[in-house]
Amino acid sequence: MIKARITVTLKNGVLDPQGKAIEHALGALGFDGVDSVRQGKVFDVELQGGDKSKVEAEIKAMCDKLLANTVIENYAVEIA
């Protein structure tokens, strides 16, 4: 079994209202030093299969088809 962590983040320049809301909430809680917050998603996936390069290609396909919107999001894959 292979464990992978997929991190999906918004591309630079894409507005992130959720991140902005968190930024303001942190300011309201007294954390003054916060310049910016951007929120993304992380997926911890467990897959069958031993061939790492095959699994990596499969995960990329998953990201392109379902997990990330590649128009506005980047993704990074870490295989443990």
User: For binding to its own copies (CB under 8 A), which residues are involved?
Assistant: 1, 7, 9, 19, 22, 25-26, 29, 31, 33-49, 55, 58, 61-62, 65-67
Q: Which residue has the tokens 């290609």?
A: 57
Cα–Cα distance for residue pair 31/54, rounded to 1 Å: 45
Q: Which is nearer to its own copies, 1 or 71 (CB)?
A: 1
Cα–Cα distance for residue pair 29/13, rounded to 1 Å: 27
Q: Which is nearer to its own copies, 46 or 71 (CB)?
A: 46
CB of 23 to its own copies, least distance (A): 9
> Residue 34 carries which side chain, given as an amino acid letter?
V
